[in-house]
Chains A and B, each alone.
Chain A
């Protein structure tokens, strides 16, 4: 089925571990985004990508790394997880940039112990 999928849906990891959250979309959308959602903060942009091999920082990029070697994939890596990175992570895509609606994946709930 076409769409945007995230994996895993749930992840528990320990402080200091490296974790990679996967995001795959089948629409060939140019733009992809990573957000985190925390109570009281709403959705905050971590990184975004305008096309393959082009990425840029959002509001809260520290502690995260992204890559976009293929248009359809946009993995997010936490290099050394901290408890403050416990959150729900949403990947999104759009076909026309920031003035087009975002299509969100179902999210990954990450707990760092």
Chain B
């Protein structure tokens, strides 16, 4: 068990809808990262938050947004969903220093129909 908690495990929704994925980092970790894993694109970094502030942005679409709350949990919001958004979405956490290893949650499998 990595200590990173993600909910829900599975999500099935229709095109055009909006969903929210939730993540609680490991105890003591200040950094939260969101990744998307699809068969054709592999693991893609979306966004990172550190202690409530956005720290880095990757290949995140404008339809997607995230935030980190004072208790350090994070939410990833996906809106105007398209079929191509179907993927496994991972949250990961680390201590935030450059040499901190990354620990992943079990992921949320999103299916857009």
Task: Indicate, yes or no, whether A interacts with B.
Answer: no
